A and B are shown apart, each in its own frame.
Chain A
Amino acid sequence: MTDPVIELVEPVIDLVDVVAVLGSFPALAGLSLRVERGEIVLLRGPNGAGKTTVLRLCAGLVPVVRGRGRVLGLDLVAERDAVRTRVGLLGHSNGLYADLSVTENVRFWGATVGASSDEVDGALERLDLSGRLADVPVRRLSAGQKRRTALACLVARRAEVWLLDEPHAGLDAIGRDELDETLHQAASAGATVLVASHELERTGALATRTIDVVAGRATEAGQPHEGDPT
């Protein structure tokens, strides 16, 4: 059990000098990051800088080799399974089943945490999926509609931390606006959102804070990077 007092005081994401390795490649080389509840934080940086690894590490999919990592007050090594039940990761794929309808997908993911029918209906309504799209098989949806369905699954799963990797990829202008609105609503409702994106103008405007990730280390945007000439 997590101490509720600690949970209130601690940041939602607290990475201190974290090292992570993918195969033999050092993906994170002493990265530190703090994210508070309700923040929308943009991770920006060149390809291979470690943005996706940060997200996967926070989801408990990449092990912490060295340093200290806590999400929602839970240790990423000792309490990894508990972390997983409370975060949602949306990567390049949506994790949807093409032959199931929108409602069936959201119901399935909600049911994995014991969500009630009301919660599932609420998730569908919040993402504007309760109307004509509700019974449409996912394979017939547009890229934007699939993204919205995947986000509805996160809502139904009661994910407290949303880890999004290039969420705007493949979306048209309307889809992007809808996604931004959804992220704003989620943050307003208390969710914490960490976004890795190359869409700097759009996501930068959406984010409450921007973090530069370069060569496996993170710095607040505008601050000099470690190793930069002073």
Chain B
Amino acid sequence: MRVWRVALLVAGKDLRIERRSRVVTNQIVPFAAVTMVMFAFALDADVVLQRVAPGLVWLATLFSMLVLVQRAYAIETDDGGLDALRVAGVDPAALFLGKALALAVQLAVLEVILLGTAVVLYGAEIRLEGGVLLVTTLITATCGLAVVGTLYGGLAAGFRGRETLLPLLVLPVVAPVLIGATRAVESALGTAGAVVSEGWPWVGLLTVFAVAFGVGGTLAFGPLIDE
């Protein structure tokens, strides 16, 4: 119980800082939107864009997530906050869950914006019958990305050159999320004749991924950030 109380405290603190600094609204959302526009320039044809829209949404989400994770740890390392949290005896599991929760909230907002952008720019269509699948996919994929981002962000935070190290660590690990979430969203949107029932096994994969990294991260985060 105490773990969740501290986790909510950490998440609240991170979200409050992001709301004040406006880094997400002024830098990360525009970055994600520009990425979507660049994809549109590169692929040009409407038919192609409609076909690949789900994959492009998740690619833009991944790139933006890297910036979000670096930002999440920059606020902890700027003035020795991470060290102070360790000295204060804050439960590493609570710290991990709190930071992952804050990251998940920001990712969820970003994904909704990117989906909207895909509808406007790429002509993607959101169907009513795929609504439940779409929402479930967003939730499970967001959880998976948030726990992996938090785990590897904590690992990279202690290293020099963490800005370049983080993508190298994270991108190969989240490949299953990229594949699973793309296929599930294709099914939800009916891209290239895909049907909703084809998407649920991918949601299962996303769920297993999120649970595995969530449990692993909760257990490993303490030793990971400790000297």
Contacts and interface: CB of A to CB of B under 8 A. Distances in A.
A91 B89 CA distance: 16
Interface stretch (B79-87, B111-119, B140-148, B176-184): B79-87
B9 interface: yes
A132 to B, nearest CB: 19
A88 B16 contact: no
A104 B89 CA distance: 19
Contact of B80 (A60, A62, A95): A95
A112 B88 contact: yes
Interface string B84-128: 111111100000000000000000000000000000000000000
Contacts of B26: none
B101 to A, nearest CB: 16
Contacts, number: 73
A108 B13 contact: yes
A85 B80 contact: no
A81 interface: yes
B88 A85 contact: yes
Q: Is the interface of B mostly helix, strand, loop or mixed?
A: helix
Given A61-B227, A104-B16, A111-B9, A93 B87 contact: no
Interface string A98-128: 1110001000110111000000000000000
B13 A100 contact: yes
Nearest to B23: A99
B6 A112 contact: yes
Nearest to A87: B87
Interface string B191-227: 0000000000000000000000000000000000001
Contacts of A88: 87-88
Given A91-B80, A93-B79, A108-B9, A99 B87 contact: no
A97 B13 contact: yes
Contact of B86 (A84, A92, A111): A84
Interface of A: 59-63, 81-89, 91-100, 104, 108-109, 111-113, 137, 157
Interface of B: 6, 9, 13, 16-17, 20-21, 75, 78-81, 83-90, 227
Q: Which 7 A-B pairs have the closest CB atoms?
A: A95-B84, A93-B80, A85-B89, A84-B89, A99-B20, A89-B87, A99-B17
